[in-house]
Amino acid sequence: MNPGENKPAPLQFEDNIFHLDLHPSNDIVATGMINGRIQCHRYGLEGHEHLWTTRAFKKSCRGVAFTPDGAGIYGISRDRSIQLLDTETGKAIKVRETTHEAPINSLLVIDENMMASGDDQGVIKASHPRKEKPVQTYSEHEDFIADMTFNKSHRTLVAVGGDGYLSTWDIRKPNVAAMSDQMEDELLSVALVKNGKKAVVGTQDGVLTLWSWGDWGDYNDRIMGHPNSIDAICKLDEDTICTGSSDGIIRLVSILPNQFHGVLGDHGEDMPIENLKLSHDKKYLVSSGHDDKLQFWDVAHLFQEEEEAAAAAQEENLDQRTEEKEEEEEEEATSQPEAASKKEDDDDDDDGWGTDSDDEKDKKKRKKTQKKMKAEKKKDIRTTAFFADM
């Protein structure tokens, strides 16, 4: 089967999808709907199974997120409430009314003991599931919180918002750790790459900006090429992301080197993409937009090619070490006094023709060169496959 063909059919809904999240270990998707409902489905190649629907909120459900173990689903709403639902039944486990003074717009589950929510007035609250009051409340932003991510090694929350600021917060402390200059553009999406050393931010003007960890005053680099706003970013690995834009196209982008590698999917013109998630087994990229359906995109081949390239590089390194060891052993053998004496005797009979040992050395050099070219060819497979999907 060709790459891109092995994917589930689209999952159609009757209402607008506001947000989605994927189960951390099963083929289950939760969707937050504009009518306040949360729906849960099991997806697959043979078809989709509706598990349950619950009317969780009075107003639109703006965000959903599975707990780390997948047993629960958090939901946030325009009515300012937060609910924790049982994944298996859809029944409410815990309900918190009016947790913010403004409608909640962004949700991030940090770990099993902490979650963060951001509202339309720029207030961020870090909460513990078993405590009624928030652990921390941050209010540096002046407009809606669009997206958040978390660096576990630094215990730091990174947030971006409609006021054009990027902020970082050590969730153990009450004050802002760092805040950027005003970017004069809405910051809509964020992801950490390069093992947390870089942050990638999507903007309303369609520019991807790159930020270095610890240097939050301004971005260090930018990637041009999106014609419209970048509303969603999904990290595939430490060097690669995919972006969802308001032109309905999902693009594959590598970070440092910065390069577009093709199109992964297309919802169609005038169908902005607002959500992107990677499945637990890295087989599918799931997207939603204004066309009231979930689209599934086959990305398994991208990771297979990456594994093949890594295996080829490892094989090349192993062969190189083996050859270097053999060469060292040969040099030691030829450096013995007996070998040196024999060489002097043979010099008298030298007729100018190459010896068998010379042929053997040339053969090893050709073999080494061929292996290197083969490894480099495998490394290029991934880029070639990206463009083949365009």
Average pLDDT for the chain = 87
Q: How far is CA 54 from the centre of its chain?
A: 30
Average pLDDT over residues 333-346: 57
pLDDT(352) > 70: no
pLDDT digits (tens, 9 = 90+) for 232-290: 999 999 999 999 999 999 999 999 999 999 999 999 888 999 999 999 999 999 999 98
pLDDT(370) > 70: no
Q: Using CB atoms within 10 A of its CB, is residue 67 exposed (0-12), middle (13-18) or buried (19+)?
A: middle
Torsion sign over Cα 38, 23, 193, 198: positive
Domain boundaries of the chain, sorted by first residue:
225-299
Phi, psi of 307 (to 5 degrees): -65, -40
| Of 306 and 162, more confident | 162
pLDDT digits (tens, 9 = 90+) for 37-77: 999 999 999 999 999 999 999 999 999 999 999 999 999 99
- The confidence score (pLDDT) of residue 5 equals 64
Residues with Cβ < 8 Å from 97, sequence gap 6 or more?
Answer: 80, 81
pLDDT digits (tens, 9 = 90+) for 286-335: 999 989 999 999 999 998 866 666 666 666 667 677 777 777 777 777 66
- Helices 300-334, 356-379: crossing angle, 10 deg rounding: 160
Nearest residue to 367 via CA among 334, 375, 355: 375
CATH 2.40.10 fits 225-299, yes or no: yes
pLDDT digits (tens, 9 = 90+) for 68-106: 999 999 999 999 999 999 999 999 999 999 899 999 999
End-to-end CA distance of the chain: 17
pLDDT digits (tens, 9 = 90+) for 202-220: 999 999 999 999 999 999 9
- The confidence score (pLDDT) of residue 346 equals 53
- SS3 state of residue 258: coil
Indicate the pTM of the whole model: 0.79
pLDDT digits (tens, 9 = 90+) for 175-210: 999 999 999 999 999 999 999 999 999 999 999 999
- The confidence score (pLDDT) of residue 336 equals 61
Q: Return the structure tokens found at 52.
A: 């349950």
Is 167 in contact with 176 (CB distance < 8 Å)?
Answer: yes
- The confidence score (pLDDT) of residue 330 equals 73
Is 146 in contact with 162 (CB distance < 8 Å)?
Answer: yes
Q: Using CB atoms within 10 A of its CB, is residue 279 exposed (0-12), middle (13-18) or buried (19+)?
A: buried
Cα distances from 131 to residues 1, 63, 135, 189, 194, in angstroms, run 51, 21, 8, 29, 34
Nearest residue to 253 via CA among 235, 268, 265, 274: 235
Report the C-alpha gap between 122 and 171 in whole angstroms: 16
- The confidence score (pLDDT) of residue 320 equals 73
The confidence band for 12, taking pLDDT boundaries of 50, 70 and 90, is very high
